[in-house]
Amino acid sequence: MRAAPSATIDEVAVVIIGGGIIGCSIAYHLAKRGITDVLVLDRNQLASGATARAAGLVCHARSDTSTIHMVKRTLAAIDEMEALLEEKIDFHPVGSVRAIFSEARLGELEKMEACLTAAGVEFSTITPAEAKRLCPWLELGDARRIVFVPADGYIDGAHLGSAYARAARKLGVRIRSGIEVTGLLTDGPRVTGVETNEGLIRANWVVDAAGVWGAVIASWLGWGLAAAPTRSHYWITAPDGSGTGHQPNIHLPDMRAYLRSEVGGLVIGLQEPKSLTYDPLALTADMADMPLIDEERDTELLVTQASELRKVIPKIDEWGFAHHIAGLSNYTPDGKFVIGRVPEIEGFLLAGGCCGSGVAASGGFGLTIAELIAGIEPSIDVTLYRPDRFGRVDPSSEAFRERCAAARSGKSRGRVDDVSRAA
Ligand SMILES: Cc1cc2nc3c(=O)[nH]c(=O)nc-3n(C[C@H](O)[C@H](O)[C@H](O)COP(=O)(O)OP(=O)(O)OC[C@H]3O[C@@H](n4cnc5c(N)ncnc54)[C@H](O)[C@@H]3O)c2cc1C
């Protein structure tokens, strides 16, 4: 075994561990605030983890207003960065249709509607015929309520991650890939930098934005990050003209499904009744090396769920499936993010527990962490994301991961009262 190099190779105000969409958004928002002595470190390529696998839905309907404001900041950041970079960042503002069929789901939708109103996001109730005009293969005649949210849309996660990175660089931030953080430097209760495979980097602030690997970083401080790496997956149909590009995203929570356009075909996300979780302290370093797909089991799921979907998408049997994509996203027991300080530790911030919404909420993550570092009150109320709200947890334990999987399943069933909502 080779000892880690112990010479100091750099000294900065802020080190961000992780160059996914969250780390890059934090870097951009710090730089926008004038804090440019920032170094982002990623051991792989930028935006190559969960960010590269996201379905990219940007959805405002949530069960709390904070998360809606987090999403609104993402869209505002896209506008700002288009001006800064003088390029189009490919957000598709197609809106979304959410159809509800069960009584249980209706209460959940009413709560979301109240939050949308409170957060100033427009929505309207539409008829099955109007939904069909927006999306010709959709038959929503049996729906109890259908809501259209015009501000919703979709964006490629890696593309948005790269935009944050390029905008941050343009404002003076340094970003490095191929460098691994192997430990934290501490002085009593304060984190003072990171140890890397190249040497030590001293910093006033260290931000853990390492996605599903974030628990490893937190464990170096003896802290259990309250989130479990949980599998999400979706299929992409062969292009046959079903996805027109301007068709809205479709959310069918009763059927645990979502759909959106993708180069002439469609992305179809199906959520399994019980999500698979993984030990966060035993993950390989690159998501591309993780065996996350079990074709036999997954095809069975597709066939089972297709029989339910057939009622609203009679055409589903005509679609061919060209790709199957899976990845890990960190889910918490209550479906809310993890943002803020670890108790009794200074100079260290957690930005994780994205609960399948990290692309949509990336702007809010960046804004909040930048404000915390700048020492100002966060403009979004992030108290519901406090890292210590579950007390001390062991994120590797089966019992804890079960709680996260249950929250994930509740995400589309609506049984978890305050669960956050996305794809
Ligand atoms: C199948 C799927 C579909 C999804 N669909 C959506 C969607 O429709 N809408 C939505 O909003 N969200 C969606 N998500 C969730 C979204 O992808 C994530 O919330 C988001 O990408 C998390 O970003 P991140 O930056 O935290 O993590 P990542 O993108 O995983 O980035 C973390 C980075 O940290 C680096 N790292 C880790 N450890 C170290 C270390 N020790 N040293 C240096 N670098 C390190 C990694 O290399 C990695 O690049 C989906 C996720 C999946 C898996």
CA of 5 to the centre of ligand 1 (A): 28
In whole angstroms, give the CA distance from residue 343 to residue 354: 20
- The answer to whether 76 and 228 have CB atoms below 8 angstroms apart is no
pLDDT at 10: 98
Among the ranges given (51-55, 162-166, 221-225, 272-276), the one the predictor scored with the smallest mean pLDDT: 272-276
Q: Counting atoms of ligand 1 from 1, which one is nearest the CA of 48?
A: 49
Map 117-168 to HEC letters. Answer: HHCCCCCEECCHHHHHHHCCCCCCCCCCEEEEECCCEECCHHHHHHHHHHHH
The domain locations on the chain are 8-72+157-228+333-403, 92-152+230-328
Q: Share the mean pLDDT of the chain.
A: 93
Q: State the distance from the centre of ligand 1 to the C-alpha of 130, rounded, in angstroms.
A: 36
44-56 pLDDT, tens per residue?
A: 999 999 999 999 9
Q: How far is CA 376 from the centre of its chain?
A: 25
Rounded percentage of the chain residues whose pLDDT exceeds 90: 85
Helix, coil or strand: residue 172: coil
pLDDT for the residue 182: 98
CA nearest to 143, candidates 129, 160, 154, 157: 129
Q: How confident is the model at residue 409 (pLDDT cuts 50, 70, 90)?
A: confident
Is pLDDT above 80 for 420? no
Ligand 1 center–CA 136 separation, angstroms: 33
- Is-contact 290 53, C-beta < 8 A? no
For 410-418, what is the mean pLDDT? 43
d(CA 83, ligand 1 centre) in Å? 26
Non-local (6+) Cβ contacts of 102 within 8 A are 144, 254
pLDDT of residue 355: 95
**Across residues 191-220, what is the average pLDDT?**
98
**What is the C-alpha separation between 267 and 239, in angstroms, rounded?**
10
153 pLDDT higher than 60: yes
> Is 395's pLDDT higher than 90?
yes
Distance 329 CA to ligand 1 centre (A): 6
For residue 423, pLDDT beyond 50: no
Question: Comparing 103 with 2, which gets the higher pLDDT?
Answer: 103
Residue 415 has what pLDDT? 37
Statement: residue 163 has pLDDT above 60:
yes
pLDDT at 160: 98
Instruction: Compute φ and ψ for 47, nearest 5 degrees.
Output: 55, 35
CA of 53 from ligand 1 middle (Å) equals 8
β-strands 124-125, 145-149 pairing: antiparallel
Ligand 1 atom closest to Cα of residue 42: 44
Q: Is the pLDDT of residue 78 over 60?
A: yes
Distance from CA of residue 380 to its chain's centroid?
17
Q: How far is the CA of 15 from the centre of ligand 1 (A)?
A: 18
For residue 3, is pLDDT > 80? Answer: no
Examine the pLDDT at 213 and tell me if it is beyond 70: yes
294-329: pLDDT as tens digits:
888 888 888 888 888 999 999 998 999 899 999 999
- Average pLDDT on 383-387 reads 98
Ligand 1 atom closest to residue 209's alpha carbon, by position in its atom list? 26
State mean pLDDT over 181-199.
98
- The fold of 92-152+230-328 is D-Amino Acid Oxidase; Chain A, domain 2 (3.30.9)
Residue owning the nearest CA to atom 25 of ligand 1: 20
For the CA of 18, the nearest atom of ligand 1 = 34
Q: Is 280 helix (H, G, I), strand (E, B) or coil?
A: helix
Mutation to probe ligand 1, out of 71, 212, 213 (largest number of atoms < 8 A from CB): 213
**pLDDT of 5 strictly over 90:** no
Burial class (CB within 10 angstroms; exposed 0-12, middle 13-18, buried 19+) of 79:
exposed
Which CATH number applies to 8-72+157-228+333-403: 3.50.50.60, 6.10.140.120, 3.20.20.120, 3.40.50.1820?
3.50.50.60
Confidence band of 4 (pLDDT split at 50, 70, 90): low
For tokens 């209550």, the residue is: 334
Atom nearest to 423 CA in ligand 1 = 8
Which residues are within 8 A (CB) of 143 and not within 5 positions of it... i.e. 6 or more apart?
A: 99, 100, 101, 128, 312
Q: For 323-350, write each residue's pLDDT tens digit.
A: 999 999 999 999 999 999 999 999 999 9
- Nearest residue (by CA) to ligand 1, atom 46, is 18
- Lining residues, ligand 1, CB within 6 Å: 17-23, 41-44, 48-51, 53-57, 157, 180-181, 209-211, 213, 232-234, 325-329, 352, 354, 356-360, 422-423
58 C-alpha vs ligand 1 centroid, how far in Å?
A: 15
Please tell me the predicted confidence (pLDDT) of residue 2. 54
Q: What is the pLDDT of residue 180?
A: 98
